[in-house]
Structure 1
Amino acid sequence: MFAIFFMEDMDPFYQNISSFPTVIFTFFLAITVLYWLIAVLGFIDIDILDFDLPEADGLEIEGEGFSNPDVLAGLMLRFGLQGVPVTVIISFISLLGWIFSYYIVHFLLGFVPEGALRFLAGIPVLLFSLYVAVMITAVLIKPLRPLFKKAQQQTVKHVLGQTAIVRTSKVDSEFGEATLEDGGAGLILKVRTTGGEEFVKGDRVVLLEHLKDKNTFRVISEKEFLGNK
């Protein structure tokens, strides 16, 4: 079955996927495939690369630039790349970008001589493929947003009152993460303290409240929680 990948007829295929600009998408596509294989086995979470995005209403756009300091978050919001895990977005962009880049290279760049000229011709192909992939991804993830939003709400209800273990060097009012065993790979949650309290790696904390605007959880020590019951 796999012998087809080693046939001489496959040489043009390998040349295309390993040449610029397709090789960039090939790299990210390989990483995403490896990621999903590991995720299926339960070793990592689907939202391992997620970071907080500001609400669309809170993003101020002036002219062609962003006044928001988080340029990446601003770009994602502008192109409609929010509401689903970043890993899903990267997977779609990698696959779609790879497809467009591959066929453009296969049918058009073959007429361009090897060397610097081929590289220069590949730059607009890269930008075009990336742009089209982003646009299509924004359309594809729209129907997925309600599903992930509902799943997140269910997760929040489930974890409140549960005990988690601090995984970062510290947890304070500005920084920190904790892991919560869920019977699978475990959940990695962003946690914060109040009143100047601080925890260190390995401490047991209880998730008291979900701070929706920052997608974090307010925590107290397990001892304090049990003492107040």
Structure 2
Amino acid sequence: MKNGGRREAMGGFVEATLEFPTVLFSILLLIVIVYWVLVLAGTTDIEDADGFGDFLGGLGLGGAPVAVVGSVLIALAWFASLVGGVLFSGLALAAVTLVIALALAWLCTRLLMVPLRKIFRAGPEASRNDFVGALCVIRTGRVSASFGQAEVTAADGSSAIVQVRQAGEDPLRSGSQALIYDYDVDGEFFWVTPVAPHS
């Protein structure tokens, strides 16, 4: 009796994973599982697709490898659609479940990106040096040889507030643009110079 109940429950689970909209995410989840098995086996590497990375960054999901973000997003969408499919039935409600599952997956993935970004931003010195040559926006009322902050955008679309200093006395005010031209390792700040506005 117990075995029969288990088989019935397993059959119901499999059936639920093959119903719309869960079946869409079931296929994607299967691809994700195969991908990570290949990564663990060492037959493939974690690679980023620039175009898809830009798309995820536009959704607020940047800052971690595309494979990781995509896997989390698909797994959460699959789980949300599975629960929604069990609770609701009917084609109209299935379409609503699809939308809700995608929205919940996006929201939860975005929240998970906060700790994930810290994990994947290892090597602070390298990331700081990457800012040299970039434009930044001043966020303090002034910038001097001993004070100033600016916002700089990284290549992955994320932004950071950094300490900046200037050697001269140019009127760098909040909202003005400046060019980062050097990094002071001892002081842990960037040297900046004003960017002349285009006429």
Q: CA deviation at 1:153?
A: 7.4
**Whole-Å Cα distance in 2 between the matches of residues 152 and 82 of structure 1?**
18
Instruction: Pick closer, same or farther for the CA change 1:85–1:11 going to 2, 3 Å.
Output: same
Structure 1 counterpart of 2:70: 90
Structure 2 counterpart of 1:77: 57
Retained in 1: the 8 A contact 2:88–2:94? no
Instruction: Pick closer, same or farther for the CA change 1:11–1:153 going to 2, 3 Å.
Output: farther
Q: CA deviation at 1:18?
A: 0.3
Structure 2 counterpart of 1:140: 112
Matched residue of 1:13: which SS? helix
Instruction: Pick closer, same or farther for the CA change 1:102–1:151 going to 2, 3 Å.
Output: farther
Retained in 1: the 8 A contact 2:21–2:94? yes
Retained in 1: the 8 A contact 2:64–2:120? yes
Structure 1, gaps ≥5 residues long: 54-71, 113-117, 155-211, 215-229
Structure 2 counterpart of 1:126: 98
Counterpart residue identity of residue 40, structure 1: L
Instruction: Pick closer, same or farther for the CA change 1:76–1:9 going to 2, 3 Å.
Output: closer
Matched residue of 1:44: which SS? coil
**Whole-Å Cα distance in 1 between the matches of residues 121 and 49 of structure 2?**
14
Structure 2, gaps ≥5 residues long: 127-153, 157-199
The question of 1:10 aligning with 2:10 is answered yes
Correspondence 1:35-184 to 2 at 5 A: 35-46=35-46, 48-51=47-50, 73=54, 75-109=55-89, 112=90, 118=91, 120-150=92-122
The alignment yields a C-alpha RMSD, in angstroms, of: 3.1
Retained in 2: the 8 A contact 1:38–1:44? yes
**Whole-Å Cα distance in 1 between the matches of residues 8 and 125 of structure 2?**
52
TM-score with structure 2 length normalisation? 0.55
- Structure with higher Rg: it is 2
Aligned length: 128
**Whole-Å Cα distance in 1 between the matches of residues 38 and 124 of structure 2?**
22
Counterpart residue identity of residue 106, structure 1: V
Retained in 2: the 8 A contact 1:50–1:85? no
Retained in 2: the 8 A contact 1:21–1:126? yes
**Whole-Å Cα distance in 1 between the matches of residues 14 and 67 of structure 2?**
26
Question: Deviation per CA, 1:50-89, whole angstroms, max 9, x where unpaired?
Answer: 3168xxxxxxxxxxxxxxxxxx83x523431101011111
**Whole-Å Cα distance in 2 between the matches of residues 38 and 152 of structure 1?**
30
Instruction: Pick closer, same or farther for the CA change 1:148–1:101 going to 2, 3 Å.
Output: same
Question: Deviation per CA, 1:88-135, whole angstroms, max 9, x where unpaired?
Answer: 1111111111111111111221xx3xxxxx2x3322211110111011
**Whole-Å Cα distance in 2 between the matches of residues 152 and 8 of structure 1?**
53
Write out the 4+ residue segments of structure 1 that deviate beyond 6 Å after TM superposition.
none
